[in-house]
Amino acid sequence: MAHAIRFLAVDAILAAGEGHQGVPLGMAEIATVLYSRHLKFDPADPTWPDRDRVVLSNGHGSTLLYSLLHLTGYHHISLDAVKSFRELGSTCAGHPEYEPAAGIETTTGPLGQGIANALGMAIAEAHLNARFGDDLIDHRTWAFVGDGCLQEGVGQEVIQLAGHLKLGKLTFFWDDNAITDDGSTELSISENVAERFRVAGWHVVEIDGHDIAAVDAAISAAKADPRPSMIACKTTIARGIPRLEGQRGGHSGKLFPEDRAAMAARFGWTGGSFDIPADIGAAWRATSRPGADARATWRQRLAATGNAVQDEFHRTIAGTLPAGTREAIHAYKAKAAAEAKADFSIATSGDIAGSLYEVLPDIMTACADLEAPTNHKRQLSAFTAKDRAGRYIHCGVREHAMGSLANGMAAHGGVIPLAVTYLPFSDYERPALRMAALMGLPVKFVFSHDSIGIGKNGPTHQPVEIIASLRAMPNMMVLRPCDAIEAAEAWEIALEHRTGPVALVFARQSLPALRHDGGAENRSARGAYVLQEAEGGPRRVTLISTGSEVQIAVEARAQLQAEGIPTAVVSMPCWSLFEAQDAAYRKAVLGAGTVRVAVEAAVKFGWERWIGEEGGFVGMTGFGASGPADALYRHFGITAEAVAEAARVRL
């Protein structure tokens, strides 16, 4: 059965002309034991909520996963799909690309992201188990792991946090072959990797990864241990190909038909290209029978819970919002409109989230050691090794892992993950942000400290260029609200958006109430709208802004109106939503033939789309400085006077 993996992988790589044979040839026995004796899965229902999750974190070895999915009977991974490995449109892409219906649980291109996703999946399972009980949620998460996953910095963050949380249903198989792409691991590492896990509180077993009985015993021990488990599997890279095994070229060196012939002779394999002997094929297909039986009994248990539990379970897994969610947001809007008070923008976001926590039990908030300044814990209890019902994950100072585990939680399903930190630290989350956008995962990335307005912490904490970079990321919705009412609308938009991640960007400083309409209409949902229309004649100037700088545009409008210049203010909390509107709406909002000036305490990049070549921009041209917020705005010329003057000179 293990050799069936090897030959399918080699045949696919030979057909494609390239690939990475090291992982499938070296981990074939490990995968065979897992799938044939321990894994809970049913190819007839790839998205069954109580299935085990399998993550191929060393995703370059994708033919290992594709071979397994084909052999076990996943419909999407047909033999034709395997034959089209790495071809345009193939489900069997160069690296595994997120497609749950095909059995591919997450995208694993950048090394380390997969194990961090697996951590999030294990957290989601533990929480849903506490919420719904063993009868409905009781499964495990398994990850195939290479040296690269553990050498990337995110790997250490994952090891520490998983050990601290004692996630006993999480198991890593480390492909300990002592080879990386450059050559021997001795070139770049000298530590005892297994000891890293032991120190962090993991259960560790070191075995021969080609010994079927040893692998089986190690997995059984892992399932019995309350700690997360790392099975260190000593393997030979490219096992079976005499020319490459144990060598640097075993990773991804070009294969030739002669290599396959040598491997067939060594293992006594008589099947031709893409040909699996009938008895071996039947043995592989039989591996799914226990999972099919488990799914059938699970369905019976779900049916026995009663309609109320079934309805809530199905709603939760589907990710639909419960009744009362929008009403809670609208109630907050009405309250904000009535009070019309200035407040710290990130605190406002925390207030809104707090109003949702009770009505929306799916929310789990992960925060990178910033509970007090971000205000998003509120009444939530902590998710800990002793309390899996908790919904606030203290991630420590680990933004890399936090963003990626949030992706894993979203990929798992059943929870709505928030990842909360300062915007300048989003660079630590960059791989996770990009993978969430690429996979279309509905993660809510919540950011504070969005501009020079954070003041005396200085330029390291003032993300002048980051908003532009997030807006440039395909499928990343960026929302930067200007006051409490827009913040509530931004949350409503974010929760209803299911086809990709959302970056909710809030200011540290206090923002005045600019909106006083607290009704159900979500004006922000169209991306931009006229906050204040021109008065005293046809509009001559359009001032456009986002977030904390909208108040500056409002002040500039007052100056221009006092001079008899009809001026409108456009609040543009979301560029992508505005771009999606029809041309007539965009033209009406921006004002045809008017002078346009944009103001944002960030770099200009991208604003040309809305102001045109002749438009004005008031913002940043470099990095920030240390000082009080009001002094910094004056120092960098981001003032109402500057905005008004930028309009005057263009009239």
Cα distance between residue 529 and residue 551, in whole Å: 15
Radius of gyration (Cα) for the chain, nearest Å?
27
Please state at what angle helix 62-72 crosses helix 278-286, rounded to 10 degrees: 90
Token pair belonging to 29:
């026995």
Residues in the chain: 651
What is the strand order of the sheet 541-545 is part of?
529-532, 567-571, 541-545, 595-603, 616-620
Q: Which residues contact 598 (CB under 8 A, 6 or more apart)?
A: 543, 544, 545, 604, 607, 610, 611, 615, 616, 617, 618, 619
Query: Which DSSP string do the residues of 207-233 spell out, in sequence order?
Result: EETT-HHHHHHHHHHHHH-SS-EEEEE
Three-state secondary structure call for residue 299: helix
Q: Which helix (H) or strand (E) holds 597?
A: strand 595-603
Cα distance between residue 609 and residue 596, in whole Å: 11
Q: Where are any strands of DSSP class E within 87-165?
A: 141-145
φ and ψ of 234, to 5 deg: -70, 115
Q: What is the amino acid identity at position 245?
A: E
Cα distance between residue 274 and residue 202, in whole Å: 40
Query: 590 near 545, Cβ under 8 Å?
Result: no
Place of tokens 């050691």: 369
φ and ψ of 46, to 5 deg: -60, -25
Identify the burial level of 304 via C-beta atoms within 10 angstroms of its C-beta, where 0-12 means exposed, 13-18 middle and 19 or more buried.
exposed
Which residues on neighbouring strands pair with residue 541, listed in sequence order? 567, 595
Cα distance between residue 47 and residue 59, in whole Å: 20
Cα distance between residue 5 and residue 1, in whole Å: 7
Token pair belonging to 1:
């059965």
Query: In 10 A of CB 243, how many CB atoms?
Result: 15
Place of tokens 């539990």: 309
Alpha-carbon separation of residue 322 from 366, 422, 426 (angstroms): 21, 29, 30
Active site includes 399?
A: yes
Token pair belonging to 32:
């065979």
Query: In 10 A of CB 325, how many CB atoms?
Result: 18
Place of tokens 């919705």: 477
Cα torsion 511, 512, 518, 520 to 10°: value is: -30
Selecting among 125, 157, 399, 486, the annotated active-site residue is: 399
Cα distance between residue 384 and residue 150, in whole Å: 24
Cα torsion 232, 238, 242, 246 to 10°: value is: -50
Cα distance between residue 396 and residue 392, in whole Å: 12
Give catalytic residues, as residue numbers.
Answer: 399
